[in-house]
Amino acid sequence: MAHDYRILIDGKLVKPVRGGTMEIINPADNTVVAVVPKCSEEDVELAVAAARRAQPGWKGTYIGARSELLIRLAAILREHQDELVPLETMQYGGPISKTSRFDIPFAPAELEYMAGLGRSMTGHTISADPDARVMTVREPIGVVGLITPWNFPLVTAVSKLAPALICGNTVLLKPPSCAPLTVLKLGEYAVEAGFPPGVVNILAGPGSTVGEAIVRHPGVDKINFTGDSFVGKRILELASQKVMPVGAELGGKNPMIVLDDANLDGAVEGAAYAAFFNSGQNCGSPSRFYVEAGIYDRFVEKFVAAAGRITVGNPMDPDTMMGPLAYNACRDNAERHIARAKEQGARILLGGERPNTPQTKDGAFVMPTIFEVYDNSIDLMQEEIFAPVVGVMKVGSADEAVERANDSRYGLCASIWTNDYRKGMLLVDRLKVGTAWINQHLAIVSETPWGGQKESGWTKENSILVLDEYTYQKHVWIHLSETPNTFWKEQIALD
């Protein structure tokens, strides 16, 4: 029997006011795998009202009690891992080898990390006046709207939900309309864990209606969004009308720089994994490769060979390394970029077509695709494609590589591959990105901050820095002398 998915409003698992539904499509074969609620503005109104009622009490709850609820939710997620893994795989096509080892295990670990981290929050004392005690105290922002993407549905939702809750905010969480299943299950588990009514509210529906209603609502105090830069700009535009803060983790067009003295095999292994992991549907994936001339030919030969060994197929098969793109429009967009790259003079070295097997013929698949590029200004090297399509370019020096790497409106992350760590660190200083690795790419864990600059957004996920995203620091001045210090002390002194 199909699962009866519900939204979560005010502590109750309910159907939308209008009773709307959406079909969830498995991109591996374009079959319907679930029918879920489709919310409207009326549901947003109810959820915001519930969150505002609950926020003062949640703010006033001892942080140890908030921490305990996060730990309880983590335990429930672990109990249901076997149920969540296939749901995560079916709804967006991430291979089960990935969802079972990364996506689902990462979510409870993130809850546990934030449960402990939040209990270490502190303010500051300031030596401003000997007659006063001056301090800052952290306070929750209030009601926070969380809008999350489809490429890591549960992971990204939890990485926003956990810090928002531990800091004392109440939440409206909107998962992606094409991949909401595991987040809707999270709502069921939140009820089981015992979160007070209104603290966690989960609404499913299109961004154009539900997402915009959350952003526009005067009762929402902050938005945190992960997604593409186009939608991020729209959210920033709407939020500016309320002068509302927005945490925006947006797109990337990430460079990988391989210098002549790099460990060749290590660089190739890192390139093949990072570029095609999750079918290239990762804002941190490298899609621009700048390789010094002395190592270029050998790197390209080995990179093409390694990418050619990637197993593309049914994401439910444990041996599959790369599944489909998340839906047909993603595949179609990738194919348009492949055709455009050919028109603009890039030479295809691998892939560029759909796989033609019984497992893949009905799905949104694109083979790992590598182009040799001669012009850094072409669309392939400037536009985020969000697919397993990359360009490799020969450069004459490390300086040229950094210059081309910075020639982008994005600034999320980059990597440098070299055995000269002094040179690597000097080059890192020149990269205009939020995260830079040396001899690594896509190392992201709870303890490390994640976020970029330029059109990649200006926020931080994970690490202790995320607490700044969900709190503000209130300045408190306690005057200790019997009278205040004023310029008019003598003129207006009382008898």
Active site residues: 160, 249, 283, 461
Residue 401: both structure tokens together: 């590589």
b/e map of 170-203 (b: 16 or more CB within 10 Å)? bbbbbbbbbbbbbbbbbbbbbeebebebbbbbbb
b/e map of 428-452 (b: 16 or more CB within 10 Å)? beebbbbbbbbbebbebebeeebbb
Q: What are residue 416's phi and psi, to 5 degrees?
A: -125, 130
Q: In the chain, what's the furthest Cα-to-Cα distance? A: 96
The residue whose two tokens read 């749901």 is: 87
**Residue spans of beta strands (DSSP E) within 227-384:** 246-249, 254-258, 286-292, 347-350, 369-372
**Of 179, 152, 150, 211, which Cα lies nearest the Cα of 24?**
179
Q: What is the DSSP letter of 322?
A: B
**Residue spans of beta strands (DSSP E) within 420-470:** 435-438, 453-454
> CA 50 from chain center: how many Å?
26
CA distance 73 to 79: 10
**Residue spans of beta strands (DSSP E) within 261-346:** 286-292
**Do 371 and 347 meet the contact criterion of CB atoms below 8 Å apart?**
yes
